[in-house]
């Protein structure tokens, strides 16, 4: 678990500074637009929008882009696109379960890009429900390690509905019911503790460990999926053991 997560954290940092930055910005902006459309353009009364804006700011999305997305989504400038949320399911090589969340204005384009990514990278798409039962919707708040210990955080968030805290190397992830994510995030804010992101995610209930070859193939598929503009999030039950994570680092 921790091997996978530490690798994911490193990858995220790299993604922020490399050529994918523009793609990442576009996805975060799309999140803001949809949140504003669903719950209104005022972050004070729309916690989903508040969290989408915070995540974009943490990833250095320019304020102008954020403001425009809020206006578009809230219908304040007459523009905006109607996005539809779609979920696709499948398997990466080695039997790793993959959930693909799309936010798109063109369903046909989205499904063909997702299918192409699976086909080209040794995976296969699966029927609806055949993979999703391996995941549950959870609130996930990511907190940079800083000077805090797991016990410090637990003391702050336990009464807000936190269920567990996992150590992800550079960060702690606080898991709760999806409906408690705002309460957990608010408890941290009241305690003056900085956090990176707060959102509902699909968290695997069981993980599939892989060897080096399996890890490389699964990660190749996940990256191909993430490369599509229509794909908003990719969730998997990939488990990269510590020794495999170390071998991945040295192979790069």
CA distances from 233 to 75, 132, 155, 188, 236 (A): 25, 14, 31, 25, 10
Q: Is residue 25 part of a domain?
A: yes
pLDDT of residue 110: 97
Q: What is the pLDDT of residue 245?
A: 86
CA angle 236, 148, 182 (to 5 degrees): 55
pLDDT attached to residue 65: 95
| 63 occurs within a structural domain | yes
What is the pTM assigned to this prediction?
0.87
Q: Are both 110 and 140 inside the same structural domain?
A: no
Instruction: Report pLDDT for 75.
Output: 85
pLDDT at 248: 86
In a domain, 247, yes or no: no
Give the strand pairing for 84-92 and 124-126: antiparallel
Q: What is the DSSP letter of 250?
A: H
> Which regions of the chain does DSSP assign to beta strands (E)?
84-92, 96-104, 124-126, 135-144, 162-167, 171-177, 197-204, 208-209, 231-236, 238-239
Domain containing 69 — which CATH number?
1.10.10.200
- Cα dist. 246→2, 94, 114, 241, 243 in Å? 12, 19, 29, 9, 5
Q: For position 252, what pLDDT does the model report? A: 67
pLDDT tens column, 109-133 = 999 999 999 999 999 999 999 999 9
* Ranges in the chain, pLDDT < 50: 1-4, 6-7, 9, 12-13, 15-16
The reply to whether 166 and 188 lie within a common domain is yes
Task: Report pLDDT for 3.
Answer: 41
**Can you give the pLDDT at residue 18?**
54
Q: What Å distances lie between residue 61 and 65, 66, 70, 186, 214, CA to CA?
A: 7, 7, 13, 23, 34
Q: Which domain holds residue 12?
A: 2-73
Question: Both tokens of residue 33?
Answer: 């637009």
Q: Are residues 8 and 101 in the same domain?
A: no
Task: With beta carbons less than 8 A apart as the criterion, state whether 63 and 96 touch.
Answer: no
Same domain, 218 and 180: no
């Amino acid at each position: 678990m921790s091997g996978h997560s530490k690798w994911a954290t490193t990858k995220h940092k790299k993604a922020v500074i490399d050529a994918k930055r523009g793609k990442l910005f576009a996805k975060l902006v799309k999140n803001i637009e949809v949140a504003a459309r669903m719950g209104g353009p005022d972050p004070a009364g729309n916690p989903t929008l508040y969290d989408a804006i915070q995540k974009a700011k943490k990833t250095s999305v320019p304020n102008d882009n954020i403001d425009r997305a809020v206006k578009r989504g809230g219908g304040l400038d007459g523009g905006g696109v109607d996005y539809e949320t779609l979920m696709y399911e499948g398997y990466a090589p080695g039997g790793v379960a993959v959930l693909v969340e799309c936010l798109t204005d063109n369903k046909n384009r989205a499904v063909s890009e997702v299918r192409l990514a699976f086909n080209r990278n040794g995976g296969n798409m699966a029927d609806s429900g055949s993979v999703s039962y391996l995941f549950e919707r959870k609130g996930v708040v990511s907190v940079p390690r800083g000077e805090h210990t797991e016990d410090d955080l637990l003391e702050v968030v336990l009464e807000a509905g936190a269920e567990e805290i996992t150590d992800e190397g550079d960060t702690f992830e606080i898991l709760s019911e999806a409906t408690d994510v705002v309460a957990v995030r608010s408890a941290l804010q009241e305690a003056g503790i900085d956090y990176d992101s707060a959102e509902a995610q699909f968290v695997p209930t069981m993980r599939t460990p892989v060897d080096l070859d399996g890890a490389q193939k699964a990660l190749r598929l996940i990256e191909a999926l993430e490369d599509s503009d229509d794909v908003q999030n990719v969730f998997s039950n990939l488990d990269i053991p510590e020794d495999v994570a170390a071998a991945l680092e040295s192979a790069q």
